Amino acid sequence: MSTQQTPSTPSPSTAERPTRITVLAGVNALEGVALAVGGIYLLIMGLLGKLESTQQAETVGITLVALGAIPLIAARGLLLLRSWSRGPALITQIMALPVAWTLLRSQGALIPTGIVLAVVAVTGLVLVLNPATTQDLGIRRGPRTTPDA
C-alpha cells in the first residue's frame, strides 16, 4: 500500500473551467470520435473487401481518422483552457455544417443523422463564438495596448 495519498480536491484548472468550455470540449470530442470511428470502419471494410471500391474506402478511412484528430486535439486544448484550441474548434464546427446539410438533403436514415449533426454543430458554434468563451480562454481583442502606454 502506498504511503502517498491522492488529493481530494480537484485540480485548479478543473475547478475554474466554465461549464460552457467543458461542453464545447465534449462536442469537439464527440465529433472527433465519430470521425475516427467512421474512418476505422471504412478502413476495416475496405481491407476485408466488403465495399465496392476498396481503394477509395481505405483512402477515405485514413482521411477521416486524420480529420478526427483535429477536434480531439481541440477538445484537449479546451479542457486545458489553451487559447489556440478555439481555432480548431471553430473550424470543426464550420466544416460540420455543410456535411449536415448534405445529409439533410439525402434519403432514409441519413436525414436523422444530419439533424443530429446540425444540432451538434450549431451548439458548438454558439459555444465557441460566445464572447465569454473568448475571455475564458484568455484571448484578447483589438490592439494590445495598456491604458498607461
Query: Of 136, 133, 137, whose CA–CA distance to 82 is shortest?
Result: 137
Cβ(137)–Cβ(83) below 8 Å: yes
Report the distance separating Cα 144 and Cα 149, nearest Å.
10
Q: Is a pLDDT exceeding 60 seen at residue 121?
A: yes
Q: State residue 75's pLDDT score.
A: 96
Quote the Cα angle for 19-87-104, to 5°: 80
Could you read off the pLDDT of 50-75 as tens digits, one per residue?
Answer: 888 888 888 999 999 999 999 999 99
pTM above 0.85, yes or no: no
Q: Can you state the percent helix, strand and coil of the chain, rounding each to 5?
A: 75, 0, 25
Q: Is a pLDDT exceeding 90 seen at residue 2?
A: no
Q: State residue 15's pLDDT score.
A: 56
Residues near 26 by beta carbon (within 8 Å), at least 6 away in sequence: 75
Q: Is a pLDDT exceeding 80 seen at residue 17?
A: yes
